[in-house]
């Protein structure tokens, strides 16, 4: 299964890279850098500073999303990775509507896609995800995606695979002479899985950002510079069951500054 998923993701990566060579295939792209500072994290050291690079694009046959976090533990050390670490995800999606040049619309569904994700980082974090994705028409939202994945972790976390449901959204609210952008995602792993470590427990990670468009307010340019907060709720973080002896339910927030280029 790993070889099959790797081949599919490599194909998505190659197709996603094609617009860089043949510009007529690229519809739009955006890149950003984000700085986060937060406290009261669980499992890892309590205080964290994170630098995040994000890339998103839409092209002739689908869309791509990539992010890479560099996480610093404010002078403390994590027992597994030391004073800092990294984590990233690459999510290519292939659009049935774009590939077949037909409308895959019914009810609130605007398009049907093949969604894939590759999770990577320091330590035993590698996983491959694949499943159906849907672009939805939800009134008021800039966009709303709903992806259903079968998760296939690698290494000592490898098991039979479990399902993950991932909605992704963006909503803009006018505020004075600028806007507030509320966007984010939720990863809901719906069932337990067994691996060589024991049980990987069902978990839910809810991670929205609430951001004020400071660039627009200062007439520097809309959708370029944001300030705000990122909320992070994670029940059974990393699939580790919360207990009185070891708390893994995370409920915290971070200050953020985000610049698009």
CA 61 to chain centre: 20
Is the residue at 120 inside a domain?
yes
Question: What is the CB-side half-sphere exposure of residue 30 using CA atoms within 13 A?
Answer: 8
Range of the domain at 92: 2-19+31-256
Mean pLDDT, range 45-70, rounded to an integer: 98
Mean pLDDT, range 100-116, rounded to an integer: 97
Higher-confidence position of 8 and 163: 163
Percent of the chain with pLDDT strictly greater than 90: 82
What is the 3-class SS of the chain, one letter each residue?
A: CHHHHHHHHHHHHHHHHHHHHCHHHEEEEEEEEEEEEECCCCCCCCCEEEEEEEEEEEECCEEEEEEEEEEECCCCCECCCECEEEEEEEEEEEEHHHHHCCCCCECCEEEEEEEEEEEEECCCCCEEEEEEEEEECCCCEEEEEEEEEEEEECHHHCCCCEEEEEEEEEEEEEECCEEEEEEEEEEEECCCEEECCEEECCEEEEEEEEEEEHHHHCCCCCCCEEEEEEEEEEECHHHCCCCCCCCCCEEEEEEEEEEEC
Query: What CATH number has the domain bearing residue 104?
Result: 2.40.230.20
Is the residue at 25 inside a domain?
no
**Res. 15: pLDDT tops 70:** no
Is the residue at 24 inside a domain?
no
What pLDDT band is residue 6 in, cutting at 50, 70 and 90?
A: very low
- The predicted pLDDT at position 196 comes to 74
For residue range 124-136, list pLDDT tens digits in order.
899 999 999 999 9
Mean pLDDT, range 137-145, rounded to an integer: 98
Higher-confidence position of 10 and 48: 48
Is the residue at 221 inside a domain?
yes
CA pair distance 131, 1, nearest whole angstrom:
13
- The predicted pLDDT at position 23 comes to 56
For residue range 214-230, list pLDDT tens digits in order.
999 999 999 999 999 99
Domains: count for the chain? 1
Is the residue at 26 inside a domain?
no
Worst-scoring range by mean pLDDT, 22-26, 85-89, 141-145, 247-251? 22-26
Q: What is the mean pLDDT of the chain?
A: 91
What pLDDT band is residue 92 in, cutting at 50, 70 and 90?
A: very high
Q: What are the structure tokens assigned to 133, written together?
A: 């994705």
Is the residue at 261 inside a domain?
no
Worst-scoring range by mean pLDDT, 148-162, 175-189, 210-224? 148-162
For residue range 201-217, list pLDDT tens digits in order.
999 999 999 999 999 99
Is the residue at 226 inside a domain?
yes
Residue 57 contacts residue 16 (beta carbons within 8 Å): yes
Q: What are the structure tokens assigned to 99, written together?
A: 């590939």
**Res. 19: pLDDT tops 80:** no
């Amino acid at each position: 299964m790993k070889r099959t998923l790797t081949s599919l993701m490599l194909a998505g990566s190659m197709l996603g890279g094609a617009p860089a060579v043949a510009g007529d295939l690229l519809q739009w792209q955006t890149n950003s850098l984000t700085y986060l500072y937060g406290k009261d994290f669980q499992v890892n050291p309590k205080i964290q500073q994170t630098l995040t690079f994000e890339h998103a694009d839409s092209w002739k046959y689908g869309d791509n999303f990539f992010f890479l976090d560099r996480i610093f533990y404010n002078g403390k050390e994590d027992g597994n990775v030391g004073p800092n670490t990294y984590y990233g995800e690459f999510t290519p999606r292939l659009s049935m509507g774009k590939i077949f040049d037909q409308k895959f619309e019914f009810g609130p569904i605007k398009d049907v896609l093949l969604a894939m994700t590759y999770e990577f980082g320091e330590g035993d974090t590698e996983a491959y995800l694949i499943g159906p994705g849907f672009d939805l028409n939800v009134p008021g939202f800039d966009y709303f995606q709903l992806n259903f994945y079968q998760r296939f972790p690698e290494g000592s976390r490898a098991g039979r695979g479990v399902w993950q449901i991932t909605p992704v959204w963006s909503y803009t609210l006018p505020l004075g002479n600028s806007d507030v952008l509320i966007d984010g995602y939720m990863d809901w792993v719906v069932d337990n899985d067994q691996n060589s470590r024991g049980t990987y427990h069902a978990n839910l990670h809810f991670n929205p950002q609430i951001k004020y468009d400071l660039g627009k307010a200062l007439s520097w340019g809309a959708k370029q510079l944001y300030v705000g907060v990122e909320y992070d709720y994670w029940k059974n973080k990393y699939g580790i069951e919360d207990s009185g002896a070891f708390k893994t339910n995370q409920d915290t927030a971070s200050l953020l500054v985000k610049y698009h280029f």
